[in-house]
Amino acid sequence: MAAEKSVNEKQNMAHQRADELKDAIADYKEALKIMPFGFNRWSQILENQKRIKNYFNASDEDWENWRWQLKNRITTTGVLKELLPLDKKEIEDIDTTGSKYRWAVSPYYLSLIDPDDPEDPVKKQCIPSINEYSDEGGYDDPMGEEFTSPTSAVTRRYADRLIIKVTNQCAMYCRHCQRRREIGENDLATPHEQLEEAIEYVRNNEEVRDVLLTGGDGFMLDNQTIAWLLDELDKIPHLEIKRFGSRTLVTMPQRIDNELCRIFSEHLPLYINTHYNHPLEITPRAQEACFKLARTGVGLGNQAVLLNGVNNDPFVMRKMNQELLKIMVRPYYIFHAKAVRGTSHFRTKVEEGIEIMENLRGYTSGLAIPTFVVNAPFGLGKTPMLPEYLVSSGKDYIKIRTWQNKVVRYDN
């Protein structure tokens, strides 16, 4: 009986612990009941798409063609006001800001906006705000890229890796973009001779083992150019991995066509870092694109930016990271927003990011926990920002704080 009682005691303790754990996420479960995300809003998004297709007189085949999506990006308030409810003041503000900063949004990404929600987090990321126009703070080039470019199209801030900027074009121009200075008024691929110079630079610097192809958006190149770039990089013996930076998985998932997937499957190891910022962006259509890429063998990661009024909420960020894992994308970084001119209304306190990290560790699986980083100014590199879990230390022990704020002794 004593042994049986001991088992019962252990089970009672386990049940008590399970109840405690349930209580720890009760507030999150309540928040999910009213939180919009791509999968539970999909029927409304499909209605939005139907309305947008009707405006453009587009077929389902047109909609699924990434070149059609690119050609029909919304770039004027004349078109936008037919697809979203905008008052006169908002139209004037968009036109005013548009005279200073270019904007464009794909029909697909526009369909993710709830037209009845003026504070829609997708809308904030793609439709210009008067705050951009009136903001004179920050820097055009906060990362000092012009001082870290040893040859055309190359940015180098670390010893063993570098960036090659292959185009200035994106499927959609994010309102928080760190390279808005390079968007200009025309979409331009980097000239072939400059790409050759960049590849030659990699070839001549044997310590470079990792190259990131970005821009702009690396997926805005045609498939033939992408294949050529990967072929040339694969000929360099000391280069170990290639990466792409692309937001098309979020803003124009139609770009992930069968030919592109075939090309990627022939150039492993290859990694793709995309840029989801809110669970509303994670839709069944985005899942389809991510699954196609995952089946090729590429690694998928996400680099979010902490944005005021978009995702600076612990529950929103937790839900987004959990949704990412469901579409085969590993949360990689959360960036503190850089001090880019015209974007100060998006910036938060660093402490908000640390609070979000506090509400991830222990509350969700480790796979769903990215690293929160601050980019040190003018190209000095990423610096992790972490909650403080080490409380104190003694000769042969430390005291640590758990995710539930319990301080315990740990033999050291």
Which tens digit of pLDDT belongs to each residue from 237-286? Answer: 999 999 999 999 999 999 999 999 999 999 999 999 999 999 999 999 99
pLDDT of residue 80: 98
Closest CA to 272 of 261, 284, 257: 261
Res. 4 pLDDT band, cuts 50 70 90: low
Give the Cα separation of 16 and 355 in Å (integer). 27
Does residue 187 register a pLDDT over 90? Answer: no
User: Across residues 30-57, what is the average pLDDT?
Assistant: 97
- Neighbouring CB atoms inside 10 A of 391's CB total 12
Q: Highest mean pLDDT range out of 31-45, 182-196, 364-378?
A: 31-45
* Amino acid 136: pLDDT: 86
Question: In degrees, to the nearest 5, what angle opens at C-alpha 302 toward C-alphas 256 and 356?
Answer: 150
Q: What is the mean pLDDT of the chain?
A: 94
On the question of a cis peptide bond just before residue 78, with omega within 30 degrees of 0, the verdict is no
CB burial of 372-381 (b: ≥16 within 10 Å; e: otherwise) equals: bbbbeeebee
**Higher-confidence position of 380 and 371:** 371
Residue 1 confidence (pLDDT): 45
Cα-based distances in Å from 238 to 131, 202, 209, 214, 233: 46, 9, 6, 21, 10
Mean pLDDT score, 132-155: 84
Judge whether 95 and 254 are in contact, CB under 8 Å. no
DSSP symbols for 9-45: HHHHHHHHHHHHHHHHTHHHHHHHTT---TTTTHHHH
pLDDT higher than 80, residue 172? yes
Residues 135-157 have a mean pLDDT of 84
Tell me which amino acid residue 42 is.
Answer: W
Q: Which of 65-69, 249-253, 400-404 has the lowest mean pLDDT?
A: 400-404
Write down the pLDDT at residue 339: 87
Angle at 334 between CA 333 and CA 340, to 5 degrees: 115
